Amino acid sequence: MSLQQVAIIGGGAAGLIAAGRVGELGLKAILFEKNKVLGRKVLISGKGRCNVTNDGDIETFMKNYNGKGRFLYSSFNKFFNNDLKILLNKYGVELKVERGERIFPVSDKAQDIVTALTSYVQAGAAEIRNEEVVEIVQEEGAIKGVRTANKFVECSAVIVATGGKSYSATGSTGDGYKWATEIGHTVITPRPALVPLNIMDDWVKELQGLALKNIEVTLWKEKKLLAKEFGEMLFTHFGVSGPIILTLSRRVVEDNSKKGMYLTINLKPALDEEKLDNRLQRDFKKYQRKQLRNALDDLLPQRLIPVVIAQSDVSADKFVHQVTKEDRKRLINTLKALKMTVLGTRSLAEAIVTAGGVNLKEVNPKTMESKLVKGLYFAGEVLDIDGNTGGYNLQAAFSTGYLAGESSTLEQ
């Protein structure tokens, strides 16, 4: 039997909580992180605010993993959002619930989450090594240890929590996939999930930095409705991003050709066409002496006005009293379905999450242990599971990491 200590590879969300749980249960944990900083991806999540989890129940969570939620059932039963709240509170982090049941630290600082998780690891007397693991060593179907550039470290279990290949600048370079394949595991081809979209239309790029809230975006393939989301989006120098765009991106990734795909934005989803027409007429009455370009300030962000007018094919120089019923109809059609052509997604390096990874059929969901090698565990994004935006991916990492950490100690 190997020395009774557990090696955890990867100091992100899954690895930190796994190391903390191993130490909490009395075994020595050695956490290997090749970066000098722990939790680099956690630090940039939620634009530095860290949407750490969601306040929904387990059944709500199950629906947010693209058909693979049942794999997480045991993990969630072992360690779920309330358990995470208690743990973070214990280490000084106050939390708040925002729109969509998303949970953030009150401070709006992701650093507070990483600091709390690091304190949890240190409380269990885990050893943190800023070294890169180059090999996982196993003999006759059982873990023997890990090898770094300088030495062999004997251990009774190894937890692979190296993340996927998204945001590779944070260190997620797919190392876990390589080791899993070498050992005999099947790795589902990594691909981007929750990724911004490239848009063909030049006017989109001119709106760079403009964020829209409470809008509805619909994804189409030619004339076929593929998906629809309500919430927030952002215009960028290459196209569009933001929560609802990231969620819709999965359907773009799944389509091989990308031809004939486009988005429509309903800028006023709360108003039907009749109510929107009434609203336009009220605004036009208010600004009846102005040109159309100066009569929509109450309805739209200023930067969006010339775009909507141009896409409606109505003259911006028309005075409001000259705008016809047909002109209003064209404006309404544009406000309800502002169209843009999708070219495809940004690269995997820019994706928030990786889809694909270690085949779930080869991992025991009750323990996170490999079905091929005794003492080998997987946790977090290295697994072939990815969730929607809203705190679901981080909670999956925390839950699988916690379960892997606990299982690695109980089965020695």
CA distance 392 to 404: 18
Q: What is the pTM of this model?
A: 0.89
The sheet carrying 95-98 orders its strands as: 53-54, 102-105, 95-98
CA distance 300 to 338: 13
CA quadruple 143, 149, 153, 155: dihedral positive or negative? negative
What integer pLDDT is reported at residue 1 of this predicted model? 43
The token duo for 228 is 């629809």
Q: What is the DSSP string of 68-101?
A: -GGGGHHHHHHS-HHHHHHHHHHTT--EEEEGGG
CA distance 263 to 228: 9
CA distance 84 to 107: 17
**pLDDT values of the chain reduced to their tens digit, one per residue, 412 residues:** 456 899 999 999 999 999 999 999 999 999 999 988 999 989 988 889 999 999 999 999 999 998 999 999 999 999 999 999 999 999 999 999 998 899 999 999 999 999 999 999 999 999 999 999 999 999 999 999 999 988 999 999 999 999 987 655 555 577 899 999 999 999 999 988 899 999 999 999 999 999 999 999 999 999 999 999 999 999 999 999 999 999 999 899 888 777 899 999 999 999 999 999 999 999 999 999 999 999 999 999 999 999 999 999 999 999 999 999 999 999 999 999 999 999 999 988 888 888 999 999 999 999 999 999 999 999 999 999 999 999 999 999 999 999 999 999 986 5
The contacts of residue 338 (CB under 8 Å, 6+ apart) are 264, 265, 266, 267, 307, 308, 311
What integer pLDDT is reported at residue 349 of this predicted model? 84
CA distance 407 to 369: 8
